[in-house]
């Protein structure tokens, strides 16, 4: 993990800096610890100015998704740095090291990382052994079989659909934009009343192509959002649209 996260590099003869690969750190404390280790600093006596500068340089390079967590840590470091510059009003005896809280958190985090190592080792042991797996057959829904189709079956299906189309009539085509949001609202309204719907419940018999396409895209969008599940018992069977209770609860 973090051991491999830092690599020294030299760029046009500038002083060696640290190159950080994004995604190698599991959080700001991880990065901070890696920096301390890399610089071989005493965790109880961290040169805050130096580590703060390093930290900022790295989060610039990282462009992490959860940069907010890193920025919060950067702000914390800057505050400690400021506090260390301020003269103590209470005299030396009562002076409390502003770094104490950070040190405590770093040590706590480091301790937890040791446990992670233990878990990782143990988990790997168990991962390499299989147990019996048995689930009572009656509790299982019928296994959804993969749709195994040959090309000729597929072409046959296309052929059937084309044949079903009556005499071709010529139309002047007026482009009609899809209205997916409205379709999503319609699907939600149907699924709000019942947990289970069919394609025919969502699309009227006389629906126009743009409506059909909007509904299809709406279903896919809602499936992606986890609001419903779409399943088919066998090839070309009617499509079941089921409200996803698990997704809803989350």
Partner 1 sequence: MTSLAKLLEAALFASARPISFDELSALDLDASPAGVRSALDEVREHYDVEGHGVELVEIGEGWQILTRAEYTEAIERAQLAARPQRLSAAALESLAIIAYRQPIGRAEIEEIRGVAVGGVLKSLHERGLIDVVGRGEGLGRPLLYGTTPAFLEQFALRHLDELPRADELNIALRAHAGVTMTGVKTVTVT
**Binding positions for partner 1, rule: CB under 8 A:** 1, 26-29, 42, 44-45, 66, 68-69, 72-73, 95-97, 99-101, 103-105, 107-116, 118-120, 122-135, 250
In the complex, the smallest distance separating the C-beta of residue 198 from partner 1, rounded to whole angstroms, is: 29
- In 10 A of CB 56, how many CB atoms? 15
The CA-atom distances, in angstroms, between 51 and each of 21, 29, 45, 95, 109 are 18, 12, 11, 22, 17
Q: Which of 206, 197, 144 is nearest to 222 (CA)?
A: 197
User: 241 forms bridges with which residues in the sheet?
Assistant: 197, 230
Cα distance between residue 145 and residue 157, in whole Å: 19
Cα distance between residue 89 and residue 103, in whole Å: 23
Residue whose CB is less far from partner 1, 53 or 72: 72
Residue whose CB is less far from partner 1, 120 or 195: 120
Structure tokens at 193: 């009343």
In the complex, the smallest distance separating the C-beta of residue 244 from partner 1, rounded to whole angstroms, is: 14
Residue whose CB is less far from partner 1, 14 or 125: 125
Q: Is 228 helix (H, G, I), strand (E, B) or coil?
A: strand
In the complex, the smallest distance separating the C-beta of residue 125 from partner 1, rounded to whole angstroms, is: 5
Residue whose CB is less far from partner 1, 164 or 249: 249
Distant-in-sequence, close-in-space partners of 30: CB < 8 Å, separation ≥ 6? 1, 2, 109, 113
Structure tokens at 208: 């126009």
In the complex, the smallest distance separating the C-beta of residue 65 from partner 1, rounded to whole angstroms, is: 11
Residues 233 and 244: beta-carbon distance below 8 Å = no
In the complex, the smallest distance separating the C-beta of residue 93 from partner 1, rounded to whole angstroms, is: 10
In the complex, the smallest distance separating the C-beta of residue 96 from partner 1, rounded to whole angstroms, is: 5
Residue whose CB is less far from partner 1, 28 or 218: 28
Residue whose CB is less far from partner 1, 26 or 83: 26
């Amino acid at each position: 993990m973090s051991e491999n996260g830092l690599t020294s590099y030299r760029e046009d003869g500038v002083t060696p800096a640290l190159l950080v690969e994004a995604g190698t750190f599991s959080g700001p404390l991880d990065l901070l610890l890696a920096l301390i280790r890399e610089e071989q600093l005493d965790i109880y006596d961290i040169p805050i100015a130096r580590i703060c500068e390093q930290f900022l340089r790295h989060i610039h390079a990282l462009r992490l998704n959860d940069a907010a967590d890193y920025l919060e840590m950067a702000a914390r470091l800057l505050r400690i740095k400021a506090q260390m510059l301020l003269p103590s009003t209470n005299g030396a005896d009562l002076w409390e090291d502003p770094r104490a809280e950070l040190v405590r958190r770093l040590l706590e985090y480091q301790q937890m990382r040791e446990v992670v190592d233990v878990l990782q080792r143990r988990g790997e042991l168990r991962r390499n052994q299989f147990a019996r797996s048995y689930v009572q057959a009656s509790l299982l829904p019928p296994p959804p079989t993969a749709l195994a189709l040959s090309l000729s079956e597929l072409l046959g299906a296309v052929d059937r659909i084309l044949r079903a189309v009556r005499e071709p009539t010529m139309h002047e085509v007026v482009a009609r934009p899809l209205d997916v949001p409205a379709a999503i609202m319609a699907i939600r309204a149907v699924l709000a009343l019942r947990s289970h719907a069919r394609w025919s419940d969502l699309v009227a018999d006389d629906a126009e192509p743009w409506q059909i396409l909007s509904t299809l895209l709406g279903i896919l969008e809602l499936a992606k959002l986890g609001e419903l599940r779409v399943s088919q018992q066998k090839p070309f069977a009617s499509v079941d649209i089921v409200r996803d209770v698990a997704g809803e609860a989350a």
